[in-house]
Amino acid sequence: MALTFKIETQPGYLWMVYEGLYEPSLAGKFTDQILATCKSHQPRKLLIDLLKVEGKMTTMDRFNLSVMAAAKYFGAVFTKKIPSCRYAIVGNHPLVDPNKFEETVAVNQGINVRVFTEMKEALAWLEAEKPGK
């Protein structure tokens, strides 16, 4: 089963809903899809919904994905291809780490992101900050 996504515009944020199987070899394609969506829609807030995605990652996979995402994100922000954005990622264990290692690495790289396992919490965090902050 391939990893597919759809995009839904919601009041105040953009929602990317993924389905399928995530494998670490998809990290480059996954981050490119997110940035392409940000380039075409210019959101200030993005909800990345991985609740229908299966898969697992090692600690090193999480580290590599987070560092790659940060490098691509800041390259696009600095060249003004995308606005700075607030990201909420929601998914299930084992795809997302119970200790939120991927979040820690991404935040340490400077990305405004949080990882959740509950949609309600993800939406509350995403909506808590005004756009552009």
For the chain, the structural domain boundaries read 4-128
Q: What is the mean pLDDT of the chain?
A: 94
- CA torsion, ordered 36, 39, 41, 47, to nearest 10 deg: 60
pLDDT score of 131 more than 80: no
In angstroms, the CA 66 to CA 120 distance is 23
Q: How many CA atoms does the CB half-sphere of 43 hold within 13 Å? A: 24
pLDDT range class, residue 128, cuts 50, 70, 90: confident
What pLDDT does 129 receive? 65
Q: Could you tell me the pTM of the whole model?
A: 0.93
Distance CA 62, CA 69 (A): 11
Whether cis (ω within 30° of 0) applies to the bond prior to 94 is: yes
Mean pLDDT of 3-24: 96
Cβ burial of 85 (10 Å; 0-12, 13-18, 19+) is: buried
The CATH superfamily label for domain 4-128 reads STAS domain (3.30.750.24)
pLDDT in tens, 57-82: 999 999 999 999 999 999 999 999 99
